[in-house]
Amino acid sequence: MTTPSVPSLHCPPGTKMILEVAGIEDKLQSLCVGYLRSRCVITQMPLLAEAQREALYQLLYPDAAVIARYLHEGTVIGFSAKVIKWIQVPFPLIFLTYPPRLESMDLRRHKRVSCCFPGQARLGEASLAGMVLDLSLSGCQFSTIVDGPPPPIRVDDVMELKCELFGAGTDARIPCAVMRVSASGHRLEVGLKFRTLPPAARDSLSTYLEAALSVLS
């Protein structure tokens, strides 16, 4: 029987980490304490004011979803995990499941430009009208307003994005991987990574980014 490969974190104790806990809008600063490969990742409990700390404790129930990110040699490494448990004694720590895979984004690779383009995202049968708020050659941020509960969008889901910048007057939709999901009130924001860009869409996007960067630089 072949044993599935397990990714190596390259995250030594003391590495700064950013945690996103389901139900909390703010990103939480923490430190990696260590990990047992294929078993768990251990992080320091974020330092928060008492009221915020109590709210965090309520959300750190077993199997609660967490996204963790850290910097390794100029690249942001991220992974999705679930809470195993948290403890206060002898030290306040959070135990997370070990990630089956890692996502990476090279900070030095693509510059990101703020923008405001109408767009439409689709996940399965759900269609969301909104705005593309920033762009790079590797991805974008999509924002929309929802009337009721937000659709069940999760990290690693595949969404299709339509925006006139990719080709005015066409029905082309760009397949994207969900990298981040943030909901606050009726606003839903999704960080997307382009999986593939057709040549025409890449040319159009490159032309816009070059023009924008020449003005903003």
- Give tens-digit pLDDT for 2-16: 345 678 888 889 988
Give residue 83's pLDDT. Answer: 96
Give residue 109's pLDDT. Answer: 54
Give residue 107's pLDDT. Answer: 46
Q: Per DSSP, what are the bridge partners of residue 99?
A: none
- The predicted model gives 128-156 an average pLDDT of 87
pLDDT at 156 over 70: yes
> What's the length of the chain?
217
> Domains of the chain (ranges plus CATH)?
16-106 (2.30.110.10), 113-216 (2.40.10.220)
pLDDT at 101 over 80: yes
Give the global pTM: 0.50
SS (H, E, C) the chain: CCCCCCCCCCCCCCCEEEEEECCCCCCEEEEEEEEECCCEEEEECCCCCHHHHHHHHHHCCCCCEEEEEEEECCEEEEEEEEEEEEECCCCCEEEEECCCCCEEEECCCCCCEEEEEEEEEEECCEEEEEEEEEECCCEEEEEEECCCCCCCCCCCCEEEEEEHHHCCCCCCCEEEEEEEEEEECCEEEEEEEECCCCHHHHHHHHHHHHHHHHHHC
For 19, counting Cβ atoms within 10 Å of its Cβ (0-12 exposed, 13-18 middle, 19+ buried), the class is buried
Compare 23 and 175 and report the one with higher pLDDT.
Answer: 175
Task: Count CB neighbours of 201 within 10 A.
Answer: 18
Give residue 171's pLDDT. Answer: 60
Residue type, 193: K
pLDDT at 106 over 70: no
Compare 110 and 4 and report the one with higher pLDDT.
Answer: 110
Give residue 5's pLDDT. Answer: 67
pLDDT at 177 over 70: yes
pLDDT in tens, 75-88: 678 899 999 999 99
Give residue 142's pLDDT. Answer: 94
Give residue 1's pLDDT. Answer: 37
